[in-house]
Structure 1
Amino acid sequence: MESVYQHFRKEEREFIDKVFGWKQIVTEQYRPKLTDFLDPREQKIIKTLIGENPDVHVQFFGGYKNAERKRAFFYPDYIQPTLDDFSMFAFEIMFPKKFVTLSHREVLGSLMSLGLKRSKFGDIIIHDETVQVMVAQEIANFLQLNWNKIGKISVRLKQIPFEDVFSHEEEMDISLITVSSLRLDAVLANVYHQSRQKIKSLIENSLVKVNWKIVEDAHFEIAEDDVLSVRGFGRSKVLAIEGKTRKDKWRIKIGIQK
């Protein structure tokens, strides 16, 4: 097991253990296992650990083609997965659009205030005036009964078919940067053109996330495919670490959200 752990970050060990537990359910009990919604980093860990395993297969679904958060369905050979296996609903939030608008933060905050775990709902999509949210089937009735306000705005939920969910590709500006180290503060300072001290302060004040989790250590080392977000500055992704320059600096390809 230690040989597996060494390929991942220390804080990911707990999730790795969960993945092996889900795999064990399929191999030993010969039955499927459905997870909650997972972020892209967790999905990548699963793909790496399961690989081309002949005894355990896994598929992901988040409600639409380019979904970020998805449920994983682990299954043995005898099962052919369908959308029903993912136990997921798509809802459109109905509200008086002529008078108000809703932001992603307001919708997310309202959901969390109901006492729900973040893992029980997927992407929140805002397209023009339309707001849609993917939710686990097990909380759907609870939401329909209890989610009637976002702030002071009265809302109601309308279930929609998955084909009516807005699919969108995140647009990014691609740039190549060179940094003295792979430390989080060094990379973010370069990406967002801020001083290391400014970035360090943001990190220490819990305003920086790596792969959707708050990181408060400026020395944290970034890796390929990491998604970085800084409150007030936006989101970026480490597309590739292309090695070192002659001056011993790291060359990194970064995608910055438009």
Structure 2
Amino acid sequence: MDEQELCKKRLVDLSRQADTRDIVTFSDFLNLNEQNIYHSNKSQYYTISKAFGGYENAERQMIAFIPDALCYEWTYPICCICVSPLYPKYAEKLTHRDILGALMSLGITRGKLGDIICHDSKFYVFAEEQIADFIATELTQIKHTTVQCSFLDDIQNLDVSPEYEEHSDMIASNRIDCIIAKAYHLSRSQASEYLISEKVFVNGKCITNCNQGCDSGCIISVRGKGRFRFETAQALSKKGKLKVSFYYYK
């Protein structure tokens, strides 16, 4: 059984457990490929389901399978840990890769970790509740920088969002190949290769059709390139081109 079939089997089994035991069950954090498997097999689940990653438009998402008869409140078992230098004056400039590497070196598997966001020189790590205390206790140094960890309360109303770099431009149409080509300075044929190779995800769904249009507000991820939010007011220039904005995730 390949990885895709295993992922599908796990999700269907979680849905079955939720239905038979009348409880909410949760997946690990899913990457974009796994989310595409989740979206592609919704007709096979025994319950309704919802995806959430700790904040709006999170890339890595946890799936909750919710039985129809559920009559009590529930929350996602997700914690947000703020990681900051203990001595900011002497701290190195850390990156997403540095934080992830330090967490993985603690023996934590990637599925237990959600997004890692850099905001105001601090890093916010979304993680499964069951390993949050372990991270807060054991993550004391990243490279040569001593760090401290603290928990953010009330994750459901958490207002932590990624930092963006905005760029405005013009495109011929809102076709996905046009958007990707303009966003990453590629030719249309190069953009098409990314689509054909199943490296493009729109709101967590793998897109291979070059002709597919994108609505304003879509989150587009291109493997090996990055992720951005696509915005357009559908206003045309005098030459009939579409005015758009790209919000690149830092």
TMscore range, shorter length: 0.5 to 0.7
Cα shift readout 1:33-78 (whole Å, capped 9, x = no counterpart): 211112355445434533697x512233322233332221112123
> Which residue of the partner structure matches residue 82 of structure 1?
74
Alignment of 1:229-248 (within 5 A): 229-230=223-224, 234-235=226-227
> Which residue of the partner structure matches residue 84 of structure 2?
94
Higher relative contact order (CA 8 A, sep 6+): 2
**Secondary structure, counterpart of 1:154 in structure 2:** strand
Tell me the TM-score normalized by structure 2. Answer: 0.64
Amino acid at match of 1:167: V
Q: 2:47 aligns with which of 40, 56, 79?
A: 56
Amino acid at match of 1:228: V
Q: 1:228 aligns with which of 222, 228, 232?
A: 222
The answer to whether the Cα contact below 8 Å between 2:230 and 2:247 also exists between their aligned partners in 1 is: no
Q: 2:154 aligns with which of 162, 174, 180?
A: 162
Q: Give the distance between the partners of 1:110 and 1:169, measured in 2 at CA.
A: 20
Q: Give the distance between the partners of 1:29 and 1:191, measured in 2 at CA.
A: 47
**Secondary structure, counterpart of 1:98 in structure 2:** helix
- Alpha-carbon offset, residue 106 of structure 1: 1.4
Residues 27 and 221 from structure 1, CA distance in 2 versus in 1: closer, same or farther, beyond 3 angstroms?
Answer: same
- Alpha-carbon offset, residue 170 of structure 1: 7.1
> Which residue of the partner structure matches residue 10 of structure 2?
18
Tell me the TM-score normalized by structure 1. Answer: 0.62
Q: 1:72 aligns with which of 49, 63, 75?
A: 63
- Alpha-carbon offset, residue 116 of structure 1: 1.4
The answer to whether the Cα contact below 8 Å between 1:92 and 1:158 also exists between their aligned partners in 2 is: yes
CA RMSD of aligned residues (A): 4.4
Amino acid at match of 1:37: F
Amino acid at match of 1:89: C
Cα shift readout 1:167-209 (whole Å, capped 9, x = no counterpart): 337756576468xxx7xxx99777533589xx7xxx9xxxx96
> Which residue of the partner structure matches residue 134 of structure 1?
126
Q: Give the distance between the partners of 1:98 and 1:238, measured in 2 at CA.
A: 37
The answer to whether the Cα contact below 8 Å between 2:171 and 2:179 also exists between their aligned partners in 1 is: no
Q: Give the distance between the partners of 2:20 and 2:74, measured in 1 at CA.
A: 23
- Alpha-carbon offset, residue 28 of structure 1: 3.8
The answer to whether the Cα contact below 8 Å between 1:61 and 1:72 also exists between their aligned partners in 2 is: yes
The answer to whether the Cα contact below 8 Å between 1:68 and 1:123 also exists between their aligned partners in 2 is: yes
Q: Give the distance between the partners of 2:139 and 2:162, measured in 1 at CA.
A: 29
- Unpaired segments ≥5 residues, structure 1: 1-9, 212-219, 240-253
**Secondary structure, counterpart of 1:126 in structure 2:** strand
The answer to whether the Cα contact below 8 Å between 1:125 and 1:166 also exists between their aligned partners in 2 is: no
Amino acid at match of 2:55: Y
**Secondary structure, counterpart of 2:90 in structure 1:** coil
- Alpha-carbon offset, residue 92 of structure 1: 1.0
